[in-house]
Amino acid sequence: MQIVPVGPAFGAELRGVTLADVANDDAAYAEVRAAFEEHSLLVFRGQEVTDDRQLAFSRRFGPPEVTKVGSLGTGTHFITLTTIGPDGKVVPPDHRYAMRNKANQLWHTDSSFKSVPALTSILSARIIPENGGETEFVSTRLAFERLDPALQRKLENSFAWHDYNHSRSKIAPGLASPEERAALPPQCWRMVWRNPVNGRGALYLASHAYAVDGMDAVAGLALIEDLTAAATAPGTSYVHKWESGDVVMWDNRATMHRGRPWPADEPRLMIRTTVSATDADGVTAMRPSRQAAE
């Protein structure tokens, strides 16, 4: 296996390894897992992807999430991200599918609004537009390490509230349905996720974050916005231009990402699997010792 760096001080393409190798071979998994802990973002090119292969690969890293209510693929281990409607045609720009793609274009980490956050997301390209539709990534580990030590210490002892409805309401009021809102109450997480393997901290931020526990609402949101701006400053991102056969996985503990727009009349179909974080991934230390009052 060859590790080829792709991004500004994070991210790597792995060559000479397939999804099936990782699914079937302990040594291949161990090598890929070590690269994941170190590089936060892994690119696999030229893969022969099927749903079954993607899921078998995903299961190596931990328990796969069951897709939430309101997403395409609900009740399965797959999330379908698409602008192709049930009739096989590309949906209009005001369709719910298209609006959800807009919400994905805000900087976020996946599943911070869930009661169990995500270790990693695995995304495969199935139908890709000619132009645009890239996925852009930043390292929130490097962003954390750029902050001054006093702020690092403060954040390590701070907790932020995350709510799916918050990020969706930035796109359109009511985009999160009443069922989704009921199923996804706000969650509170430490603002720094320390990787148990290498000890490095990362900002745990997302478009879903709306308040800092114990801080005035306006000041808390301003802090979240300032940290997001610093984490996504020009020159810090890796932009993945999708090609057929690409699979990209990222560490939701140590990165943020956003989708990039593409022409509204071009179809795009991506399949995501998501793996829940476990105690071994450091999730226990992320929970507040007391549930703060909202």
Residues near Fe ion (CB under 5 A): 110
| Closer Cβ to Fe ion, 110 or 281, answer by number | 110
The residue among 68 and 213 lying less far from Fe ion, judged by its C-beta, is: 68
Nearest to 283 by CA among 212, 177, 188, 161: 188
Q: Name residue 81's amino acid.
A: L
What's the min distance (Å) between Cβ of 65 and Fe ion?
12
Phi, psi of 150 (to 5 degrees): -65, -45
Taking the complex as a whole, how short is the minimal distance between the CB of residue 271 and Fe ion, in angstroms? Answer: 13
Beta-ladder partners of 5: 12
- Residue among 13 and 110 whose Cβ is closer to Fe ion: 110
CB of 102 to Fe ion, least distance (A): 13
Sign (positive or negative) of CA dihedral 10, 11, 15, 21: positive
* Shortest Å distance, C-beta 21 to Fe ion: 26
CB of 13 vs Fe ion, minimal distance in Å: 20
CA distance 200 to 93: 41
DSSP code of residue 284: G
Residue nearest Fe ion, CB atom distance: 110
- Considering beta carbons, is residue 65 or 110 the nearer one to Fe ion? 110
In degrees and rounded to multiples of 5, residue 205 shows phi and psi of: -135, 160
Residue 106 or 215: the one with the smaller Cβ distance to Fe ion is 106
Neighbours of 232 (CB within 10 A): 18
